[in-house]
Amino acid sequence: MTDSETIIIAFVNTIRPIFPSIVSNAAFAACVFTLFVLLLAVSTKESRRRLVFRLNVLAICLVLTMGALMSLVTGKAIVDPFNLVSTNTFIATIVFLVFPPLLYDSILLTRLFALYPVGSTPATTLMKIFAFPFCIKCARVVVITTGVHGFVGLGATTEALIQAESADWFRSPYLIAEWTMQIADNLYTVSLFLYNLHIRTSSMKRARSIAERLRQIFYIAIANFVFPLIFNVAQIVFITTDRSPFTGILLIVINHYITVIGVLCATLWFSGSELVRTRNKLLPAHMLNTLKPTLGRDGVAGWMSGSAVAPVGKGTVPHLTADLDPGADSKQLLTWEKESRHILV
């Protein structure tokens, strides 16, 4: 074996552990950026003003920043292994790997405010519901901050921190505690949300349009919870069995992207339907008059409510009351129509 072959083999063996992270990071970052552009294209002015929409945008910016830092750190290790990134850049990458899940989980928590509005829910009820997630998030902040502070003190250079990362990864009590509390946090929030949504959907069987929409929200919420849960469990398994941090970091990066993509797809689903409603409100008045024979006596009211859609030519016209029985409680339905608009955005 020649010297050049030996050098090539040594180089390949050096980059092999981090190569999957580079490829996965690039692929998921491109996917998130594409969905982000699509979100901006289909969102409306009304949806952009909502707090949860802005939190979603912030989550996207954080995960893209994490991807850029990961690409910088791993790319520098391959292109120039003897001149790694600065210590501050490496620490910033670690921070963006461990802190953003708190924001993602807070976005999930805001869904509960659609079921328990602050203005109409007693203070004692709000305290009972939000005391546990608030306390566990505070505990997570303390654990993450303590873990990052202890990790930073293990070395003054990037090389020393990389070596400390390999040694400190295996069975790190801070990471295990953080991921365990994250599972409990998400399990509580999503279970409470899905339970209340299921109860209220079951009580609205007569309102088929709204019940179907809430059922879709139910399935989306399950998907947004199940996939991050699987990766959290996998992270705990690997941190207790695999001494190499590369597999665990790969799972952490993928978990970040999967969580954000799930929230982003839910927001796209709502923004797309809201864009249809907004465009339908701009239809000319003579088009509404032509719809009266098909929509019945409540056609105009259905058009104003904006729930289900009935195809008309190239456009669609929202229609709600045509799907309801004569005895349906219209006040309750309109209330749920308003609440469901704030669940996923």
Please give the average per-residue pLDDT across 321-345, as a whole number.
44
Of the pLDDT bands very low, low, confident and very high (cuts 50, 70, 90), residue 47 is confident
Of the ranges 8-22, 97-111, 219-233, which one carries the lowest mean pLDDT score?
A: 219-233
pLDDT higher than threshold 50 for residue 313: no
In SS3 terms, 92-146 reads as: HHHHHHHCHHHHHHHHHHCCHHHHCCCCCCCHHHHHHHHHHHHHHHHHHHHHHHH
CA distance 252 to 186: 16
Q: What Rg, from alpha-carbon coordinates, does the chain have?
A: 25
CA distance 29 to 103: 18
Of the ranges 107-111, 115-119, 249-253, 316-320, which one carries the lowest mean pLDDT score?
A: 316-320
Segment 154-194, tens digit of pLDDT:
888 888 888 888 777 778 899 999 999 999 988 888 888 77
More confident residue, 204 or 173: 173
Per DSSP, 312 falls in state E
Segment 247-269, tens digit of pLDDT:
888 889 998 998 888 777 766 66
Residue keyed to tokens 């923004």: 271
DSSP string over 173-224: HHHHHHHHHHHHHHHHHHHHHHHHHHHHHHTTTT-HHHHHHHHHHHHHHHHH
CA distance 97 to 221: 24
Predicted pLDDT at 307: 36
pLDDT higher than threshold 50 for residue 238: yes
